[in-house]
Amino acid sequence: MTVTLIVPGRAVGKGRPRSTKSGRMYTPAGTVKAEGDVRAAWYAAGQPRIDGRPPLQVLIISAHRRPENHWRVNGSLSAAGERSQMPVRRPDIDNQIKLVLDSLNGAAYEDDVQVVSIKAVKRWAAPMEAEHVRVEVSEFRMAA
């Protein structure tokens, strides 16, 4: 079984825990919202779940909109766009991975300790493609 989710909007990385002056720890609001967006995509997909505790593999592909300076007036890529093969910018890919895994913990799978293989890619969105994050979670199968 494969759990496939499309999370609309800009990719977000998990923020570091913060503390108040009194020492109380809290999760930043942006992280809470982003985790809610991933969970909402899971609900929209019908709340699919991989039962048991099998080893899992995860694929995360985030599509980022190109900056305006990557385009010429006629719609073709500018020199800056041609030089920029992939989006080398925030959010850091490791923080994206952590946000997605934590968001689906206890929902799409029992515990993120089950994840034994991860592939994550940041790419430019196609000209008319909206920014989004695609997540696929499936049982791990050793390649023959």
Which amino acid is present at 43? Y
Domains of the chain: 2-139 (3.30.1330.70)
Helix (H), strand (E) at residue 62: strand 56-64
In this predicted model, what pLDDT tens digit does every residue of 4-49 receive, in sequence order?
999 999 999 998 888 888 988 888 888 999 999 999 999 999 999 9
Per-residue pLDDT at 144: 67
- Phi, psi of 119, rounded to the nearest 5 degrees: -125, 125
What pLDDT, on a 0 to 100 scale, did the predictor assign at position 17? 82
Tens-place pLDDT, residues 68-90 = 888 888 888 888 888 888 888 88
Reduced to 3 states (helix: H, G, I; strand: E, B; else coil), residue 98 is: helix
